[in-house]
Amino acid sequence: MKYLALVALTLCSCKQKLVEVPGPLGLPPLRVERVATADEIALGKKLFFDTKLSIDKTISCASCHNPETGFADARKVSVGVGGKTGKRNAPTVLNAAYWRVQFWDGRAGSLEEQAAGPMGNELEMNHKPELLMARLAADPEYGPMKLTLERVLFAIASYERTLLSGNSAFDRYTYGGDKTALSSEAIEGFKVFGRHCVICHTIGPKDALFTDEQFHNIGVGVNAEGVLVDQGRGKGEFRTPSLRNVARTAPYMHDGSLKTLKQVVDFYVGGGNSNDHLDSQIRPLDLSGRERDALVAFLESLNGVEAK
Amino acid sequence: MKWLLALVFVVCGCAPKAVEPPGSVAGQVKFAGQVAKAVVIDMEQDPQCKKLYPEAPREEQTVVVGPEGTLANVFVYVKSGLEGKKFEAPKTAVKIDQKGCWFEPRVTGMQAGQALQVTNSDPVTHNIHPEAKVNREWNQSQAPEDGPLSRKFVQPEVMIRVKCNVHKWMRSWIGVVEHPFFAVTGGDGGFEFKDLPVGTYKLVAWHEKLGQQENTLVVTSGVKARLDFSFNGQ
């Protein structure tokens, strides 16, 4: 709660005009309140990979947002301090700087607010803010910096704002004028995608975030009564995730229940799982085997290159 | 003496009517027509399904006939005559497996309120979709290695067509009744309902392609009645 109050204060006090930072090919300019200094970003990176952030010094942000696996977690659900597990799959941090809201249920309004979440969550880092700040103050590496919680969160968020990933084969094909960037199968998949998936995983004329930034109930995780085990935002709705780097960030869905992109395609072909609040746009798709494979090939073309 | 006689009469007249021991019925379903050629199933929609049949593609034979003209996959059940009687649903689940991109079995009978357990033994995702009209219609995705899913139909409904939303050739049928007097014929075309209370019943034999037939049957105490059905393929 203290974390949240502080973040809210930070947000409210900043009324200056947003600064636009150009994005990589295929991504829109990033709007930030203040451009971080190189030192702040370096501090954020150090903190992101530092297990001292967790109460027992075992978990860092990178434990669950692992650069080796697209800054996401290859496990179904993440494991926090003492082996505790949550119920949702950790989403990638790549391009998270663009999201209007953070978390599967959108409960955080900024990256700073998001960063505070796992630190205090007893299933994740389980570190009370005053204890964390006391530890950093006494630490020979961080102590001399005289950090505040606000600066810690800003630094982590600022590092995350550098984790932009565009310039994928799709971007080079669509926005870079390179008509050889996609295979013929991926182009066929692009067409299928345009007929069915693009409604929620949006593509714009100049750039593509592959998300409508809305919340939808697609029926993932129903029980024997046909009710979703995790109700997400209230009626089983979860944030539409971007599909950039999707081939690097298995498993899929908010509960990490689907292991491969083929399984994801088949899930949608099947019309999800029926339940009282299923989104009206989710219905069985009549796709041939070739179209299903092409769709997977297209999704594999969305692997980006991280900006340096 | 007269008093005594009168008393005996009264006693006999008032004594609770003893429940008569039940009877039973057994029979056989036969097919008298020409069996159409099996249809080759094109599993193009899912190459992984196709791979499950490396020797030859799967064929579908909706009319399965034994060497002596016996008809399999017929759902035989008591349609009427049991009104007012209550039968508790069995605690054991009825099972449908998705195996070889096929539903096993083709026809399932179960009691209203009994659990239906659906498993996926395939390396592909299935999405079972019972197109119920009386009961609630539902569909559920099952990825490879997903555990069994369990559902119930609370109302009697004969028949519920079942499809897979991912593989259009997959078909199955479920008959849901309120009592235990139902059967699905095997290769011998036979069925038997034991311990059927004395009474007059309408029995129906249903086949997915050949339609259904209805027959009236009188069950008397301790007697094993015989009732056969014959489909001619028209």
Distance from CA of A145 to the nearest CA of B (A): 50
User: Other CB atoms closer than 10 Å to residue B234's CB: what's the count?
Assistant: 7
pLDDT tens for chain A, 308 residues long, are: 445 444 444 444 445 689 999 999 999 999 999 999 999 999 999 999 999 999 999 999 999 999 999 999 999 999 999 999 999 999 999 999 999 999 999 999 999 999 999 999 999 999 999 999 999 999 999 999 999 999 999 999 999 999 999 999 999 999 999 999 999 999 999 999 999 999 999 999 999 999 999 999 999 999 988 999 999 999 999 999 999 999 999 999 999 999 999 999 999 999 999 999 999 999 999 999 999 999 999 999 999 988 76
Residue type, B198: V
Cα–Cα–Cα angle for A150, A244, B125, rounded to 5 degrees: 120
Residues 6 or more apart in contact with residue A175 via CB below 8 angstroms: A25, A26, A206, A207
Q: Answer yes or no: are the C-beta atoms of B196 and B181 closer than 8 Å.
A: yes
Residue type, A189: G
Q: Answer yes or no: are the C-beta atoms of A200 and A214 closer than 8 Å.
A: yes
Q: What's the rounded Cα separation, in Å, for the pair B57 and B78?
A: 38
The values of phi and psi at residue B164, to 5°, are: -110, 125
Residue type, B117: Q
pLDDT confidence of residue B10 = 46
The architecture (CATH level 2) of B88-178 comes to Sandwich (2.60)
Q: A115 to each of A7, A137, A288, how far by Cα in Å?
A: 10, 19, 43
The chain A residue lying nearest B48, using CA atoms, is A289
Distance from CA of B85 to the nearest CA of A (A): 27
Asked if the bond preceding B105 is cis, omega within 30° of 0, the reply is yes
Q: Which of B138, B149, B150 sits opposite A274 (nearest CB)?
A: B138
Domains in chain A, start-ordered, CATH in brackets? 2-160 (1.10.760.10), 167-306 (1.10.760.10)
Distance from CA of B102 to the nearest CA of A (A): 16
pLDDT confidence of residue B234 = 58
Q: What's the rounded Cα separation, in Å, for the pair A190 and A186?
A: 6
Residue type, B186: G
| CB contact (8 A) between residue B143 and residue A224 | no
- Residue B192: pLDDT band (50, 70, 90) is very high
- Residue B20: pLDDT band (50, 70, 90) is confident
Residues 6 or more apart in contact with residue B15 via CB below 8 angstroms: none
Residues 6 or more apart in contact with residue A302 via CB below 8 angstroms: A168, A169, A170, A210, A243, A244, A245, A246, A247
Torsion region of A182: left, alpha or beta (phi above 0 gives left; psi -120 to 50 gives alpha): beta
Distance from CA of A159 to the nearest CA of B (A): 37
Which tokens in the block code for residue A225? 């009564």
Residues of B in contact with A269 (CB under 8 A): 127, 165-166
Q: Answer yes or no: are the C-beta atoms of A91 and A71 closer than 8 Å.
A: no
Q: Answer yes or no: are the C-beta atoms of A174 and A207 closer than 8 Å.
A: no
pLDDT confidence of residue B99 = 98
Q: What's the rounded Cα separation, in Å, for the pair A207 and B210?
A: 57
Alpha helix (H) residue ranges in chain A: 2-13, 38-48, 61-64, 111-120, 129-138, 149-160, 169-174, 184-196, 261-269, 289-300
* Domain locations along chain B: 23-82+190-234, 88-178
The values of phi and psi at residue A180, to 5°, are: -100, 0
pLDDT confidence of residue A2 = 47
Residues of B in contact with A263 (CB under 8 A): 125, 143-144
Q: What's the rounded Cα separation, in Å, for the pair A95 and A199?
A: 20
Domains B23-82+190-234 and B88-178 share a fold: yes
Q: Tokens 């019309």: give the residue.
A: A271
User: Closest Cα partner for B119 from B159, B150, B160?
Assistant: B150
**Protein fold of B23-82+190-234:** Immunoglobulin-like (2.60.40)
ipTM reported for the complex, 2 dp: 0.87
| CB contact (8 A) between residue B139 and residue A259 | no
Q: A212 to each of A22, A202, B100, B137, B157, how far by Cα in Å?
A: 21, 6, 38, 30, 42
Region B162-178: mean pLDDT is 98
Q: Which of B43, B138, B166 sits opposite A266 (nearest CB)?
A: B166
